[in-house]
A and B are shown apart, each in its own frame.
Chain A
Amino acid sequence: MKNFRILFFVAVASIFAACDDAIDIKQPGELLPEDTFETVDDLTLGLNAVYGAIPGENHILFTSIFTDEVKLGRANGGQGRDGSLAFLLNNNSGDAASIWLSNYLLINYANRLIKGAENVTPIVDEASNIDETDDYNGIVAEARVLRAYGHLQLLTFFAPDMKDDNGLGVIAVDFIPTTAQKLPRNTVGEVFALINSDLDAAVDALPKRVTARDHVSADFVNALRARIAAYRGRYTEVEAYTDPLLVASAQYVLTKKFSGSNTSIDYSKTADLLLKSDYFKLFRDVAVAGNSNEVIFKAVKTVPASNPTGNFYQAWSSVNSTITGSPFYEVSTALYNKLGSADIRRSVIIDPSAYPAYTVRPVAKYAESKTVPLLGDIKIMRSSELYLLKAEARASASDFQGVADQVNKVRAARYGNTTGNIAVPANAQEAWAAILNERRLELAFEGHRYIDIKRLGTLAGQGIDRTEADFAFNGAYTLDLNDHRWTLPVPRAEASANPSIQQNPGYGL
Chain B
Amino acid sequence: MKSKFTWIFTLLLAFFIQFSFAQDRTISGIVTDSQGLPVPGANVTVEGTKQGVQTDFDGKYAISAAKGQKLVFSYVGMATQTIAVGASNTISVQLVDGIAIEELVLEGYRSTTRATSNIAVTTITSKTIEGRPNANFIQTLQGQVPGLNISTGSGQPGASSTVILRGLGSVNGNVEPLYVIDGVPLNSDNFKSINQNDIESLSVLKDAGATSIYGNRGANGVIIVKTKRGSFEAPLNIKYLGTTSFTTMQNNKYNTMNSHQLLTLERTFRKGYGYTGGTDGTPMTDEQIAAYGVDTNWRNVFFRTGVGQNHVLSLTSGSKNLSSFTSLGYFNQEGILKGTDLKRFNFRNNLTGKSNDGRFNYGTTLTINYSQNHQAASLGTGSINYNPVSAANNGAPYIDPKWYNGSGADLVNWYSNGVGPQGVGYNAKGTLGLSPLVLLNRMQTGAIETNELKMIANLQASYKIVDNLTLGTTVGADYTDNVGLDYESPNSWTRILFKRDGEDFVGSETNSYVRQFNFNMNTSLNYTKTFAEKHTIDASIFTEYYKAHQSSFSATQNGLDPKTWSPGAGTGYIPFNPDTPRFYAPEIGASKGSAGLFSYFGSVDYDYMQRFGLSGTVRRDASYRFSDSNKWGTFWSVSGRWNIDKESFMQNTAFNMLKLRASYGTTGNQNILGQSIFSAPNYTRSLFSSGAGYQNLNSYAISQIGNPNLKWETIEQANIGVDFEVWKSRLRGNVDVYQKTTKDLYLSTPISGINGTYTLDANNGDLRNKGVEALLSYDVIRTNDFLLTLTFNGSYNKNEILDLPNEGGFVDNGLTIDAEGGPLNQFYLIKYAGVNPTNGQLLFYTKDGQLTENPNPETDRRFTNKTSLTPKYQGGFGFEANYKGFFLTTQFNYVAGIYRFDYDLLGLQDPSSIGVFNKSTDILNAWTVDNRNTDIPSLNVTNSGSATSSDRYLRDASYLRLRYASVGYSFNKDLLAKTPFTAIRTFVNAENLVTWSKWRGWDAESNRGADQYQYPTPKIISVGLELQF
Contacts and interface: CB of A to CB of B under 8 A. Distances in A.
B859 interface: yes
A305 B582 contact: yes
A109 B812 contact: no
A52 B695 CA distance: 8
Contact of A77 (B432, B521, B689, B750): B432
B702 interface: yes
A179 B945 contact: no
Interface in A193-248: 214
Q: Secondary structure at chain B's binding surface: helix, strand, loop or mixed?
A: mixed
A32 B685 contact: yes
A265 interface: no
A23 B699 contact: no
B944 A81 contact: yes
Scoring B705, B751, B913 by chain A CB atoms within 10 A of each residue's CB, the highest score goes to: B751
Interface stretch (B116-124, B588-596, B786-794): B588-596
B299 interface: no
Nearest to B917: A77
Contact of A319 (B498, B807, B944): B498
A171 B913 contact: no
Contacts of A4: 360, 463, 465, 471
Contacts of A493: 750, 753, 758-759
A11 B473 contact: yes
A97 B758 contact: yes
Contact of A499 (B415, B417, B702, B807): B807
A269 interface: no
A31 B700 contact: yes
B752 A22 contact: no
Nearest to A506: B858
A492 interface: yes
A243 to B, nearest CB: 31
B135 to A, nearest CB: 34
Q: Sort chain A's interface into a size bin.
A: 35 or more
A23 B701 contact: no
B697 interface: yes
Contacts of A14: 473, 521, 523, 543, 545
A130 interface: no
A496 interface: yes
Nearest to B689: A31
A479 to B, nearest CB: 13
A221 to B, nearest CB: 19
Contacts of B597: 22-23
A268 interface: no
Contact of A179 (B755, B859, B912, B946): B755
A88 interface: yes
A26 B758 contact: no
B754 A23 contact: no
Contact of B754 (A42, A47, A177, A306): A177
B943 interface: yes
B355 A3 contact: yes
Contacts of B760: 179
Contacts of B910: 78
Contacts of A107: 754
A484 B417 CA distance: 45
Contact of B700 (A28, A46, A474, A498): A46
A10 interface: yes
B696 to A, nearest CB: 5
Interface in B485-499: 497-499
A23 B622 contact: yes
A15 B523 contact: yes
Interface stretch (A120-128, A276-284, A322-330, A423-431): A322-330
Scoring A18, A23, A323 by chain B CB atoms within 10 A of each residue's CB, the highest score goes to: A23
A21 interface: yes
Scoring B432, B631, B681, B700 by chain A CB atoms within 10 A of each residue's CB, the highest score goes to: B700
Interface of B: 355, 360, 382, 384, 415-417, 428-432, 461, 463, 465, 471, 473, 475, 497-502, 508, 521, 523, 525, 543, 545-547, 556, 558, 581-582, 585-587, 592-598, 600, 622-624, 631, 681-682, 685-690, 692-702, 705, 707, 749-760, 806-808, 810-812, 814, 856-859, 910, 912-913, 940, 942-948
Given A88-B945, A497-B750, 16 more contacts: A7-B463, A22-B545, A23-B623, A33-B687, A33-B702, A45-B700, A46-B701, A47-B699, A90-B857, A179-B705, A179-B751, A180-B751, A181-B754, A323-B429, A372-B582, A475-B942
23 contacts: A3-B461, A4-B465, A14-B523, A15-B543, A22-B597, A23-B598, A25-B624, A31-B690, A33-B687, A45-B690, A46-B699, A75-B432, A76-B912, A85-B945, A109-B756, A171-B754, A183-B754, A324-B415, A371-B501, A475-B942, A475-B943, A494-B758, A497-B807
